Amino acid sequence: MATQMEAAKRGEITEAMQAVARKENLPAEEIRARVARGTVVIPKNVHHHSIDPEGVGQGLKTKINVNLGISKDCANIDSELDKVRKALEMKAEAIMDLSNYGKTALFREKLIEMSPAMIGTVPMYDAIGYLGKKLEAITAKEFLAVVEKHARDGVDFMTIHAGLNRRTVEHFKRNSRLTNIVSRGGSLLYAWMELNHAENPFYEYFDEVLNICAEHDVTLSLGDACRPGSIADATDASQIEELIVLGELTQRAWDRNVQVMIEGPGHMTLNEIQANVLLEKKLCHGAPFYVLGPLVTDVAPGYDHITSAIGGAISGAAGADFLCYVTPAEHLRLPTLDDMREGIIAAKIAAHAADLAKGIPGAAEWDRAMSTARQALDWNKMFELAMDREKAERYRQESAPALDDSCTMCGEMCSMRLMNKFVSHEL
């Protein structure tokens, strides 16, 4: 069976491409052409039958991802499935299962079976628990076996930290960092490489990784093991060296008709974001850019959904394609259902703000409709259009105005109410 990229290169428009074209209000032929070039990906494993395909990349709406999963301290599958249901209700386009303990395969199976959203994983997280071995005792073949297991289970995209090779490690050792390697998968691989005095197995056996991805049409999300975990480490030698390697791996993947996304920082100041997006697009040949935030300051634990939304909006406006949500619990704990909800809304705000800046078809119409409803003091329409209807309705109910055509902020002095009496609008 052909991958989406292979079909696109042959000139074939698949059902998935047609579905994406309808959602994006673009010609199906344009979607096909971008998939063929690698500037758009459609993560869709051949075994994920419940998926409603989404496109990520050039000229498309900015998508968001929600991280979930069980851990040793929080291993309740049912509570994580409650989060899944809420994330799907809130229209998240992707869910990453970052489970690293216990019945990971069972959770992943249930997730893929119920989810119309695309599903991602980080096989490195699952390796120790799944194989039941100490890190240093795991072989390269066993790491690849975990990748194959996730692919056969139906995972649509996988984070593979293949850019952290021995050369990148030497750059890291020669260039000190304040926060070292903060990527969980990257730190595990670094430790494995040092303990075994060996090359990164995902880099050394990258062709085998591509064989697996091509067979099941898994999109590679090439992980940034050296992403900055503090603004002090942003855009340093280790990060850029790894990005150069990821660009080389991207070309190898495309030669095998495997779709690719590139993962990016991390933490960095506002003034570095645009340059980082430009670097990724140049060094990785226009492959879609998937960013964690970036968080624009390090000093707001408990509010990092806000620091990341600021960075996400700026990176999206600069050309990033996919935002990984960050919750208020980042750096502090496994997020609760409420934390997840706050993180999703923050990421959706950032994504839509980016779409407005990029001129994505349909983005401005949503805002215009809301402004029209506000001018008309049509509260029901405002709630219908609100990104978070539940919160908007609750706020109004908690502070009911004396006048139905105003709110408790302005009352009789409501500017909309006043101007409607004197100015006729034909909108």
- Which structure tokens are listed for 92? 């998240």
- DSSP secondary-structure letter at 78? H
Least confident of 206-215, 265-274, 417-426: 417-426
Can you give the residue ranges of every domain in the chain?
Answer: 4-358, 363-422
pLDDT at 27: 98
Q: Treating both helix axes as pointing N-terminal to C-terminal, what angle do 104-114 and 77-89 enclose, rounded to 10 degrees?
A: 20
Q: Which of 141, 105, 113 is nearest to 45 (CA)?
A: 113
pLDDT reading at 427 higher than 50: no
How high is the pLDDT of residue 132?
A: 82
* Of 99 and 277, more confident: 277
- What's the pLDDT at 104? 84
Mean pLDDT is lowest, of 102-116, 135-149, 196-210, 397-411, for: 397-411
Per-residue pLDDT for 426 more than 90?
A: no
> Tell me: the pLDDT tens digits for 127-181?
887 888 899 999 999 999 999 999 999 999 999 999 999 999 999 999 999 999 9
Q: Is the pLDDT of residue 70 over 80?
A: no
pLDDT > 90? residue 75: no
CA dist list (Å): 320 to 9, 78, 112, 176, 282: 24, 34, 26, 28, 13
pLDDT on residue 73: 64
| 284-288 mean pLDDT | 98
Tell me the C-alpha distance between 253 and 186, whole Å: 20
d(CA 33, CA 38): 9
Judged by average pLDDT, the poorest of 58-67, 157-166, 395-404 is 395-404
Q: What confidence score (pLDDT) does residue 408 get?
A: 78
Mean pLDDT of 280-298: 97
pLDDT attached to residue 407: 81
Among candidates 249, 97, 233, which has minimal Cα distance to 163?
Answer: 249
> Is residue 54's pLDDT more than 70?
yes
pTM for the structure as a whole = 0.94
Sign of CA dihedral 242, 248, 249, 251: positive
Q: Is the peptide bond before 361 cis (omega within 30 degrees of 0)?
A: no
In the prediction, which pLDDT does 425 show? 55
In tens, the pLDDT along 214-268 reads 999 999 999 999 999 999 999 999 999 999 999 999 999 999 999 999 999 999 9
Give residue 423's pLDDT. Answer: 81
Element containing residue 243 per DSSP (H, E) = helix 237-255
Q: How many CA atoms lie within 13 A of 3 on its CB side?
A: 30
Question: What residues have CB less than 8 Å from 63, skipping those under 6 apart?
Answer: 54, 56, 93, 94, 321, 322, 323, 351
- Residue 118 near residue 155, CB atoms below 8 Å: no
Asked if 163 and 203 count as a contact pair (C-beta separation under 8 A), the reply is yes
How do residues 81-108 score in pLDDT, each as one tens digit? Answer: 999 999 999 999 999 998 877 678 888 9
- Annotate 128-187 with DSSP letters as a single string: HHHHTS-GGG--HHHHHHHHHHHHHHT-SEEEE-TT--HHHHHHHHHS--SS----HHHH
- pLDDT grade, residue 272 (50/70/90)? very high
Say whether 351 sits in a helix, a strand or coil: helix
Q: To which CATH superfamily is domain 4-358 assigned?
A: Radical SAM ThiC family, central domain (3.20.20.540)
Contacts with 245 (C-beta within 8 Å, 6 or more apart), sequence order? 162, 163, 165, 167, 168, 203
pLDDT mean over 19-48: 98
| pLDDT at 74 exceeding the cut of 70 | no
